Chain A
Amino acid sequence: MGAVAAGIPATPGGPAPPSPAARRARSRSASTRHRAAGREEKWLPYVLTLPILATAAVLIFVPLGLGIWVSFTDADTLSPDALTGEFTVENYTKLVSDGAFWNSVRVTVVYSVGSVLGSLVLGLLTAVVLNRAFRYRGLVRTLILLPWAVPNVVAVLVWVWMYNPQHGVLNYLLTRLPLVDTAPSWLSSPSYSMLAVIIVTVWKSYPFSTLMFLAGLQGIRHDLYEAAAIDGANGWRQFRDITLPGLRSVASVVVVLVTIWSFGEFTFIFLMTEGGPAGATETLVLNMYQRAFRFFDASYAFAVGMVLLLLAVAITAVYARITRVRW
Chain B
Amino acid sequence: MTKTLTRTSATATALTPVPAGVHRLARLCRAAGLFLLIVALVLIAIFPIYWMLVTSVQPSTSLFSWPPRLVPSDGVSLGAYTEMLTSSGLLGWVGTSIRVSLATASISVVAASLAAYALSRFSFRGSKATEIGMLATQMFPGILLALPMYLVFLRLGLVDDVNGLTLAYLAFIVPVSATLLKGFFDSIPKDLEEASLIDGTSRMGAFFRVTLPLSAPGLAATFLFAFIVSWNEYLFARILVRSAENWTISLGIASYIGEYVTPWDQIMAGAVLVTLPVAAMFLFLQRYLLQGLTAGAVKG
Contacts and interface: CB of A to CB of B under 8 A. Distances in A.
**A–B contact (CB under 8 angstroms):** yes
Interface residues of B, number: 103
Contacts of A169: 51, 68, 70
B151 A79 contact: yes
Interface stretch (A18-26, A93-101, A214-222): A214-222
Interface string B137-155: 1011111110111111011
Chain B residues touching A, majority SS: helix
Contacts of A159: 48
Contact of A146 (B45, B132, B172): B45
Interface stretch (B75-83, B84-92, B231-239): B231-239
Contacts of A113: none
B124 to A, nearest CB: 4
Contacts of A253: 294, 297-298
A134 B2 CA distance: 9
Contacts of B137: 56, 60
Contacts of A327: 296
Contact of A315 (B67, B139, B171): B139
B275 interface: yes
Interface in A21-44: 37, 40-42, 44
A267 B143 CA distance: 11
Contacts of A267: 234-235
Interface string B48-65: 110110010000000110
A216 B300 CA distance: 8
Interface string A56-97: 100110111011001000000011101100000000000000
B162 to A, nearest CB: 16
B114 A51 contact: yes
A210 to B, nearest CB: 9
B34 A129 contact: yes
A212 B298 contact: yes
B122 A44 contact: yes
Interface residues of A, number: 107
Contact of A232 (B11, B143, B148, B253): B11
Interface of B: 1-5, 7-8, 11-12, 15, 34, 37-38, 41-42, 44-46, 48-49, 51-52, 55, 63-64, 66-68, 70, 111-112, 114-115, 117-119, 121-122, 124, 127, 130, 132-134, 136-137, 139-145, 147-152, 154-155, 167-168, 170-172, 174-175, 178, 202-204, 231-232, 234-235, 238, 249-250, 253-254, 256-257, 264, 267-268, 271, 274-275, 278-279, 282-283, 286, 290, 293-300
9 contacts: A55-B111, A63-B151, A78-B150, A129-B34, A143-B42, A152-B250, A158-B271, A232-B11, A288-B143
Q: 5 nearest interchain CB pairs?
A: A264-B141, A59-B171, A149-B282, A63-B148, A48-B118
